[in-house]
């Protein structure tokens, strides 16, 4: 069986969903291939929540939304859907959005993709690519039908792990220079049955107790403190606190080992909560994510590599297609500790279109957490609002390349920026 389309997108995370919607809204035939059973990627399969901050303030004190366009639509419609399904009690909702329901996000992204005319193919992995010089000819898909082929004019790799770019033989890198270590992997989980009022009052005590037990060797998790967030339900807490270090996120054996280690850390944390944290005596483990979350893994080596220096200089590139000011948030790849570098109010950097182009590629773009950036720069631009804007930019760029019959390196960047701005994106 051969599937044909104009634009093929590998990976349906927030990036891939936005890319597909953007390209399909311009009238193109878009096939979106997703390994799991839903859109949303890490937000859904890894239970990642909330949206990290994506606003700043201008000189007049007004809020500037650095992630807008399709991301803003998602936020608005997700708030509406949550109110419709949960009633007006959804007090944690708002704009800018933070906490959200990943179950409602799955419904919404399906709706948005179908409305735009995107063809979806779930439970399917892109496993190989055929290339002729710098052009991708076709990809191999693996699913219940066996191995089949799909052919497109343009391809966008939104797999998070740069699977398609690597399969096509374009250059990629892993982690930080020297030791190739990536930020830790984390299995997120939810705990219910919490008495929030008592828990809130005892929050500092919980952190002290955790630290003491870690120092006494009774807690094995290398994370320095307990990292948790609210959910839309008072009695349910969201934990982003397991930490698995020094394992390779693009090795099936090592990711398996990471899943096993992280699940033990979940058990350790559950017992800690029940035994030592007031308000959690009746805590129940509601769910663990379907997959361990990878903050960082393989990244492409693109036409430009965005660096920490670019971020610290608040660089605004002539071919900037997304903006970000999230802090450089590095969870120690070797063990305990997390470092932050926060941007001052009103300052942000932009991300050049060239970071989406694998070096030399003619008809392949890459978007999401695996774009061409250094370890440090990725620690900032990897957040969900930003990757959604990168997806919209990639989908729009592929559409324009198709319309102009040119390679992805020859896309008219001024036109791309104009189209993105007309579609609501913030470009600075
Ligand atoms: C533990 C953790 C906590 C985080 N915390 C936050 C936070 O609080 N707030 C925030 O904003 N960001 C946070 N992030 C960052 C953010 O979640 C990710 O960087 C972002 O979601 C990445 O989006 P993506 O679309 O690039 O990749 P993903 O969301 O990983 O999507 C990739 C998609 O591609 C699919 N796929 C992979 N390979 C293939 C293949 N071969 N064929 C077909 N499909 C494939 C996957 O199933 C997946 O759906 C966190 C990340 C982690 C791991």
* Best of 160, 250, 379 for a ligand 1 pocket test (most atoms within 8 Å of beta carbon): 160
Structure confidence by residue, pLDDT tens digits, 362-399 = 999 999 999 999 999 999 999 999 999 999 999 999 99
3-state secondary structure 270-328: HHHHHHHCCCCCCCEEEEECCCCEECCCEEECECCCECHHHHHCCCCCCCEEEEECCCE
Q: Is 346 left (phi over 0), alpha (psi -120 to 50) or beta?
A: left
Tokens 């660089």: give the residue: 315
Distance CA 107, CA 94 (A): 19
Question: Is the minimum distance from the CB of 258 to ligand 1 under 6 angstroms?
Answer: no
Q: What is the DSSP string of 209-250?
A: HHHHHHHTT------SS--EEE-SSTT-EEE----B-S--TT
Give the Å distance between the CA of 47 and the centre of ligand 1.
10
Q: What pLDDT was estimated at residue 97? A: 87
Q: Tell me the backbone φ, ψ of residue 246, rounded to 5 degrees.
A: 65, 15
Closest among 171, 138, 175 to 359, alpha carbons compared: 171
Decide: 160 in ligand 1 pocket, CB within 6 A.
Answer: yes
Mean pLDDT of 288-306: 98
Is pTM beyond 0.95 here? yes
Q: What is the pLDDT of residue 93?
A: 82
Kindly state the average pLDDT of the residues 412-428.
Answer: 97
pLDDT tens digits, 82-141: 999 988 666 678 888 899 999 999 999 999 999 999 999 999 999 999 999 999 999 999
Helix (H) or strand (E) holding 205: helix 203-215
User: What secondary structure does DSSP assign to 341-408, as a single string?
Assistant: EPPPTT--EEEEGGGGSBTT-SSEEE-STTSSB-HHHHHHHTSHHHHHHHHHHHHHHHHHHHHHT--G
State the helix-helix crossing angle for 252-276 and 203-215, rounded to 10 degrees.
120
What's the mean pLDDT in 317-328? 98
Residue nearest to atom 51 of ligand 1 (CA): 295
How close are the terminal C-alpha atoms of the chain, in Å? Answer: 45
CA of 382 to the centre of ligand 1 (A): 9
Positive or negative, the Cα torsion across 300, 301, 305, 307? Answer: positive
Judge whether residue 350 has pLDDT over 90.
yes
pLDDT at 91: 66
Q: How many of the other CB atoms lie within 10 Å of CB of 80?
A: 13
Q: Which domains does the chain have, with CATH numbers?
A: 2-177+297-422 (3.50.50.60), 185-293 (no CATH)
CA separation (Å) from 316 to 91, 351, 353? 36, 8, 12
pLDDT digits (tens, 9 = 90+) for 25-53: 999 999 999 999 999 999 999 999 999 99
Q: What is the pLDDT of residue 145?
A: 96
pLDDT at 119: 98
DSSP readout, 107-162? Answer: HHHHHHHHHHTPEEE-S-EEEEEEEETTEEEEEEEEETTEEEEEEEEEEEE-SSS-
Q: How far apart are CA 125 and CA 151, in angstroms?
A: 14
Whether 41 is in the pocket of ligand 1, judged by its Cβ within 6 Å, is yes
pLDDT attached to residue 94: 81
Question: If you average pLDDT over every residue of the chain, what do you get?
Answer: 97
Nearest CA to ligand 1 atom 37: 159
Q: Determine the residue of 20, 48, 110, 394 to mutate for testing ligand 1's pocket, defined as the one with the most ligand atoms within 8 A of the Cβ atom.
A: 48
Nearest to 158 by CA among 354, 369, 362, 11: 11
Q: What is the mean pLDDT of residues 227-241?
A: 95
| Interval between CA 67 and ligand 1 midpoint (Å) | 17
Crossing angle, helix 14-25 and helix 70-86, to 10 degrees? 110
Q: Residue 356: is its pLDDT beyond 80?
A: yes
Would you say 318 and 329 are in contact if contact means Cβ atoms under 8 Å apart?
no
Q: Which tens digit of pLDDT belongs to each residue from 80-93?
A: 999 999 886 666 78
Closest to 321 in 3D by CA, of 411, 201, 209, 221: 411
- Give me ligand 1 centre to Cα 159, in Å: 8
Q: How far is the CA of 72 from the centre of ligand 1 (A)?
A: 19
pLDDT of residue 89: 63
Q: Which of 384, 386, 393 has the most ligand 1 atoms within 8 A of CB, as the residue to mutate?
A: 384
Mean pLDDT over 400-409 rounds to 98
Average pLDDT over residues 281-289: 98
Q: Is 14 in the pocket of ligand 1 (CB under 6 A)?
A: yes
Query: Closest Cα to residue 365, out of 134, 116, 34?
Result: 134
The total number of residues shown for the chain amounts to: 428
Contacts of 143 (CB under 8 A, 6+ apart): 121, 123, 124, 125
């Amino acid at each position: 069986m051969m599937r044909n389309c104009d634009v093929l997108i590998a990976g349906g995370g927030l990036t891939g969903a936005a890319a597909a919607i953007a390209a399909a809204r311009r009238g193109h035939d878009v096939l979106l291939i997703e390994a799991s059973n839903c859109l949303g990627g890490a937000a859904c399969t890894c239970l990642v929540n909330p949206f990290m901050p994506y606003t700043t303030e201008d000189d007049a004190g007004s809020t500037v939304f650095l992630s807008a366009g399709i991301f803003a639509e998602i936020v608005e419609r997700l708030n509406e859907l949550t109110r419709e399904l949960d009633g007006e009690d959804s007090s944690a909702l708002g704009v800018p959005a933070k906490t959200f329901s990943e179950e409602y996000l799955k419904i919404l992204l399906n709706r948005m993709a179908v409305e735009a005319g995107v063809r979806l193919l779930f439970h399917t992995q892109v496993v190989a690519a055929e290339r002729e010089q710098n052009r991708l000819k076709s990809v191999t898909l693996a699913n219940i039908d066996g191995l089949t082929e799909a052919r497109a004019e343009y391809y966008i790799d939104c797999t998070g792990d740069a699977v398609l770019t690597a399969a096509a033989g374009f250059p990629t890198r892993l982690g930080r220079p020297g030791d190739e270590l990536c930020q830790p992997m984390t299995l997120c989980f939810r705990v219910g049955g919490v008495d929030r009022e008592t828990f809130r009052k005892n929050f500092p005590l919980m952190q002290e107790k955790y630290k003491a037990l870690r120092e006494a060797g009774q807690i094995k998790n290398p994370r320095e403190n307990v990292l948790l967030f609210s959910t839309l339900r008072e009695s349910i807490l969201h934990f982003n606190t397991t930490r698995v270090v020094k394992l390779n996120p693009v090795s099936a054996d090592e990711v398996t080992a990471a899943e096993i280690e992280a699940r033990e850390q979940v058990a350790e944390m559950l017992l800690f909560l029940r035994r030592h944290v007031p308000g959690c005596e009746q805590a129940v483990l509601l769910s663990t994510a379907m997959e361990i979350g990878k903050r960082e893994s393989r990244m492409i080596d693109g036409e430009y590599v965005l660096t920490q220096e670019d971020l610290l200089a608040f660089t605004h590139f002539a071919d900037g297609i997304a903006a970000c000011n999230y802090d450089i948030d590095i969870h120690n790849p070797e063990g305990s500790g997390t470092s932050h570098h926060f941007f001052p109010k009103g300052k942000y950097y932009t991300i050049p279109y060239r970071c989406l182009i694998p070096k030399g590629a003619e008809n392949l773009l890459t978007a999401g957490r695996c774009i061409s950036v250094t370890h440090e720069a990725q620690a900032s631009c990897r957040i969900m609002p930003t990757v959604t804007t990168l997806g919209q930019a990639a989908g729009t760029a592929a559409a324009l390349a198709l319309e102009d019959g040119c390679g992805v390196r020859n896309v008219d960047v001024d036109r791309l920026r104009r189209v993105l701005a007309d579609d609501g994106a913030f470009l600075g």
